[in-house]
Amino acid sequence: MKKILIVTASTGAGHNSVASSIRQALDQQGNGQVTVDVVDFLAQETWICKPLLLYASIIVSYPWLWGVIYSLSNNGHFCRFFRALVSKISSNPMAHLLQRHAPTALICVHPLCNQIIAESLKRTRLPTLLITVVTDLDEAHTAWIAPEVSLYIAPTEEVRDSLRARGIPPQCISLLGLPVDGRFYRDRPDSSQTGQIAEQKDALTLFLTGGGEGAGAILPAAQAISRAQLPVRLIVACGRNDALRQKLERSSLTVPCRVLGFQDNIHLLMEAVDVVIGKAGAVTIGEAIVAQKPLIILSPLPGQERGNVEFVIRHGLGLAVKRTAQLIRVLKHWIANSGEMEELVVRAKEFRHEWSQAGPQAARAILSLIESGETTPHRR
């Protein structure tokens, strides 16, 4: 029996969603010959996790600070320093995790975890394959790259090319698409899941989302839409941001609005709405594309989301606005010219088709690598 361990980190919800998608595909294709476990590294009680636990507070309250952190960490010097720090830790939780599970293969879906895992593999000398699933859309952050990685799974041509530019051999990269939750390809919504406001189609239904942490200009956007008295309905997903949810519930909005906390049925909600508005998280973008919904990116985070915006604009998958006034202008224009939304949907269909097999293809690539018996690059 082969053991596969998937390591994620619940900074937002996107990394966990990708981990779940890959696990589902491995369970389906493993033919009972593999066991798959998913571990959230942030659940480990250790000081090394504490900086990651600050992620939600930083992106909600100090997004500029996240931009600084991202920029300073996006180079080889930082990664070498970080790995040297990890190597000095006498009680390394990742090393203990590896020794406890002794996996045949380890799949990492988070960049910082990737560096911790790589250093821990070097330290423990376990014959474990390391597969890295990149979740950026435009350019791979340096932390995704480590000499211990046997296979990089890239979601887009842009990420593949950025990995090659950083010296990764082409044979170590598989371009497979973004593994979006398989439920986006199967389930259809019903009124018990989406609420009555999503079932009435006499007006556009807008989905405002700030990702798993409820970040971005969600409250100002809802208030601006209300002041403009647009003929729309709102569904707002606040994620884990209870303060945002409470503020919205207390707001006297003039448009019908359904306010939600953290949701595990985003696939149903997106299917029920007409337009998706929010920050530029890679998985949120991927889900909107697969759901074939017009996308408006509002106030993206500095760092990886800037690249994601460039990806969206380059491929004609949506629009990006910096201010709520621009958002209102776009919505008014789309209400009067719905054909422009349809053009975005047509482009999204191409990616939906390409990414529909991303999870299964990733599973096949991983199982094939395991069967080949190859060792990790640093041990060849």
In the chain, domain spans: 2-176+357-379, 183-355
Domain 2-176+357-379 belongs in CATH node 3.30.460.80? no
Evaluate the CA torsion angle 144, 147, 153, 159 in order and state its sign.
positive
Indicate the CATH number for domain 183-355: 3.40.50.2000
Contact 114, 146 (CB under 8 A): yes
Contact 176, 362 (CB under 8 A): yes
pLDDT tens digits, 182-203: 888 875 555 454 444 445 556 7
6-10, 119-123, 190-194: lowest mean pLDDT where? 190-194
Q: Are strands 34-40 and 105-108 parallel, antiparallel or unpaired?
A: unpaired
C-alpha span between 233 and 255 (Å, rounded): 6
Task: Name the helix (H) or strand (E) containing 162.
Answer: helix 157-165
Place of tokens 């053009």: 343
Please give the pLDDT value at position 26.
93
Contact 105, 370 (CB under 8 A): yes
* Contacts of residue 22, Cβ cutoff 8 Å, sequence gap at least 6: 6, 107, 109, 133, 179, 359, 362, 363, 366
* Contacts of residue 103, Cβ cutoff 8 Å, sequence gap at least 6: 3, 4, 5, 128
Q: Mean pLDDT: which of 32-46, 88-102, 136-150 is highest? A: 136-150
Say how many C-beta atoms besides its own lie within 10 A of residue 68's C-beta: 13
Please give the pLDDT value at position 125.
82
At 159, is the pLDDT very low, low, confident or very high (cuts 50, 70, 90)?
very high
Same CATH fold, 183-355 and 2-176+357-379? yes
C-alpha span between 130 and 114 (Å, rounded): 9
C-alpha span between 45 and 25 (Å, rounded): 29
Judged by phi (left if over 0) then psi (alpha if -120 to 50, else beta), residue 167 lies in left
Q: What is the CA radius of gyration of the chain?
A: 21
* Longest distance between any two alpha carbons in the chain, whole Å: 64
Length of the chain: 380
Is residue 73 predicted with pLDDT exceeding 80? Answer: yes
231 alpha carbon, distance to own chain's centre: 31
Please give the pLDDT value at position 76.
86
Half-sphere exposure (Cβ direction) of 198: Cα atoms closer than 13 Å: 22
Average pLDDT for residues 228-255, to the nearest whole number? 90
Is residue 98 predicted with pLDDT exceeding 50? Answer: yes
C-alpha span between 258 and 240 (Å, rounded): 16
At 379, is the pLDDT very low, low, confident or very high (cuts 50, 70, 90)?
very low
C-alpha span between 117 and 73 (Å, rounded): 17
Which pTM was predicted?
0.87
